[in-house]
Structure 1
Amino acid sequence: MQKEELLHLHMLLVHVRKYYENITGEEVLTDKYASLHISPVHIHKNKISHKKAILTLGDEIVGHIRTNHTPFIEYHPELPSERVAIE
């Protein structure tokens, strides 16, 4: 992945976190991400730093959602697996 693409993905994740917080009214704690001291506008940082930031921020967003919300997907054993995969 090119550095420019990483910067775009990094910015997208920051927007996802802000959108989620605005919609739900919940704060997503991103202490690990904040400790990296990197943001999408830090274009001088290397690709490895942005990759680590992306993975850390994504992990904290998903962790918050898993901890605070039950999944909306339900499993129905009586339905054939092909039908569930299509839906």
Structure 2
Amino acid sequence: MKKQELIHLHGLLSEVRTRFETKTDSESDFSSYDEQKTRPTSIHHSKNDHRNAVLTIADDLTANMMKTESKTVAPHAD
């Protein structure tokens, strides 16, 4: 993936985080992501920095969404 694409994905995931926090009433924990210095607007940071930030925010989003789920849905193919 190119650096520009990672920056774009980083921005999209940041927007998902913002919407998730406004739509849920539960306490969200994004401390792992917040500790990082790379933000979507940090275009001077390296490609690897954005890759790590994308993986971290995705992990934090997944963990927070799993906390808010009331029941597990079994995976199935159509």
Q: TM-score range by the shorter chain?
A: 0.7 to 0.9
2:33 is aligned to: 33
1:85 CA drift (Å)? 1.6
Q: Quick one: percent identity of the two aligned structures?
A: 32
CA contact (8 A) 1:17 1:28 kept: no
Task: Show structure 2 runs of 5+ residues with no match.
Answer: none
- C-alpha distance in 1 between matches for 2:27 and 2:44: 29
Pair 19,51 (structure 1): closer, same or farther in 2 beyond 3 Å: same
- C-alpha distance in 2 between matches for 1:59 and 1:27: 16
Provide, for residues 43-63 of structure 1, a one-character-per-residue CA deviation record: whole Å limited to 9, x for no partner: 000010000000001101100
Q: Which amino acid aligns with 1:51?
A: R
- C-alpha distance in 1 between matches for 2:38 and 2:71: 31
Partner of 2:77, secondary structure, is helix
- C-alpha distance in 1 between matches for 2:2 and 2:71: 34
1:21 is aligned to: 21
- C-alpha distance in 2 between matches for 1:23 and 1:71: 18
RMSD, aligned CA:
1.7
Partner of 1:9, secondary structure, is helix
2:53 is aligned to: 53
Task: Show structure 1 runs of 5+ residues with no match.
Answer: 76-83
- C-alpha distance in 2 between matches for 1:68 and 1:2: 33
Partner of 1:85, secondary structure, is coil
1:24 CA drift (Å)? 1.7
Higher relative contact order (CA 8 A, sep 6+): 2
Equivalent residue pairs, number: 78
